[in-house]
Chains A and B, each alone.
Chain A
Amino acid sequence: MKIDIQTTANNGQMVLFVINNNGATILTLNGNTKGSCLLVPGFKYRLEWHTWSPEAADYTISATVTPNNSGFPPFNLTKSYQGPSSDMGGFFFTLN
């Protein structure tokens, strides 16, 4: 199975990681970019993202797994910061 991820960063720094259960980073996306990687059902992964900006900034993340999998419904996130900001988020997931 494949996960496709697209990120946008307007006025700020952003990095997104997909990390496998061994702690190895299997996908890194920086700023305005997109990428994909293969995932194996039954294994635990984590998606982790970080943002940083000394001024107002906007970020988006859009991630889908093909074929559709209940272990990872389409994920869309939009974050807007009105001033300097440093933030992160993420979650574990396992494909069925």
Chain B
Amino acid sequence: MKRILFIICLALGHHCFAQDTVPKRIVDTLHIQLLKSNFTPLGNAALSNTVSNVALSSTLNEGENGKIELKYNFKNRWTGGFSVDQKIGKDAKKAEFYNFTSGVSPGTTIGFNIQKIFWSPKLSRAGFEQFDALANAFAKEHGVDRRTVTYNDIATNGTPLQKSRLSEVKLKAPVFFNLKVSLTKSNFSFTADSVNLKSTDVNYFTPNLGLSVGVPFSLRSYLALSYSYSKTYQASDELTFSSPFGTTKNSFSQTLVFGKPQQKIEHKINLEWRQSFGETSTDFAIDPSITYGFNTDKMAISLPVYFIQGATKVGKPNGLQGGVSFGYLTKTSSLTSFKDGFWAQLILTTPFDVFGSLKK
């Protein structure tokens, strides 16, 4: 396993340069409870960023996270992606995914992503004949080449009657399917020996699996259902031990984690709706979602509202980039009071995209 991961990391090493950094997502930490309990509604986006051929993105937020992501479009609307994500220390200025002495670094997540777009928009014979009749009339009235007339031409410049008849011809949107598998390496130091206080190091590779299906209802709205499985380990509590220092009357103390890390398995489902509003441009957007964790018996509801327009370095608008997110986390067995379960956070992020930056 180590050898395979090493080869992959080595291969990616050639692609890790000259990439723009993606704006860092800055969030308030009021929902730290969510993060600690591995229950992050905002991290449950049904769609990963896709899809441009041989696309590579990399990020490095000092003291937090370093990430590279490689994506490729295959035939028949299949897309594959590979990513390496590394948690880094507060003072680190580079993310070291792998080194020769210790292998894959702790805090590294290696992920694979597959996306398939299902789309069968072919009209029925009757539907096409209806469009053909409308297009023939439109071309005649406007003096244009019949073969270049499109659905949108009629919908925009047709007569009210033509528009009405055209609305009977329904266009189909694609359906997106996404599978994400990742492995995270975690390292723990602990002692299980209360006599000698001998410290033990242990590494775990923990799997994560995510499945999602997304259905656009229009060009401004999108519904996604996703399931995720994760296995994690949580360190036990820290204890401080005081021991005599030789035969002197002095003593020294050391803080150790006592006991093996606890394994934690979580199954979650998430339902997410993205909707943007506005006449011509997007004035504001919402991204409500509801997440349920089967093992923890917790439910989170979140409602991010985006209304702050972002701008490029030259002052050109580049879409909604900020807003406020409201949420509520509760046990389903007994509802948490609103005061304890409610949270709010500021959002400053990359531009909002109804379809999660889906690109061809």
Contacts and interface: CB of A to CB of B under 8 A. Distances in A.
- Select the residue from A12, A55, A85 with max chain B CB neighbours within 10 A: A55
Contacts of A91: 132, 135, 146-147
Contacts of A71: none
- Select the residue from A23, A50, A53, A54 with max chain B CB neighbours within 10 A: A54
B122 A53 contact: no
Interface string B162-177: 0000000001111000
B149 interface: yes
B119 interface: yes
Given A25-B122, A54-B219, A54-B355, A87 B360 contact: no
A13 B121 CA distance: 11
A84 B117 CA distance: 17
Interface stretch (B19-27, B123-131, B181-189): B123-131
Nearest to B132: A92
Interface in A67-96: 75, 77, 79, 83-92
B219 A89 contact: no
Contacts of A48: 122-123, 128
A85 B148 contact: no
Given A19-B122, A52-B174, A89 B358 contact: no
Given A52-B174, A88-B123, A89-B135, A57 B150 contact: no
A53 B151 CA distance: 15
- Select the residue from A48, A79, A83, A88 with max chain B CB neighbours within 10 A: A88
Contacts of B216: 54
B331 interface: no
B150 A89 contact: yes
Contacts of A11: 359-360
Nearest to A72: B147
Contact of B171 (A31, A50, A77): A50
Contacts, number: 81
A3 to B, nearest CB: 14
A78 B308 CA distance: 35
Contact of B147 (A52, A77, A86): A77
A48 B120 CA distance: 12
B131 A90 contact: yes
B152 interface: yes
Interface string B136-159: 000000000011111110000000
- Select the residue from B77, B131, B135, B150 with max chain A CB neighbours within 10 A: B150
Contacts of A12: 360
Contacts of B122: 17, 19, 25, 48, 50
Given A11-B359, A86-B171, A86-B173, A23 B125 contact: yes
Interface in A1-38: 9-13, 15, 17, 19, 23, 25, 30-31
Given A13-B174, A86-B173, A54 B353 contact: yes
B61 to A, nearest CB: 26
Interface of B: 75-77, 117, 119, 121-123, 125, 128, 131-132, 135, 146-152, 171-174, 216, 219-220, 280, 353-355, 358-360
5 contacts: A12-B360, A31-B360, A83-B280, A86-B171, A90-B132
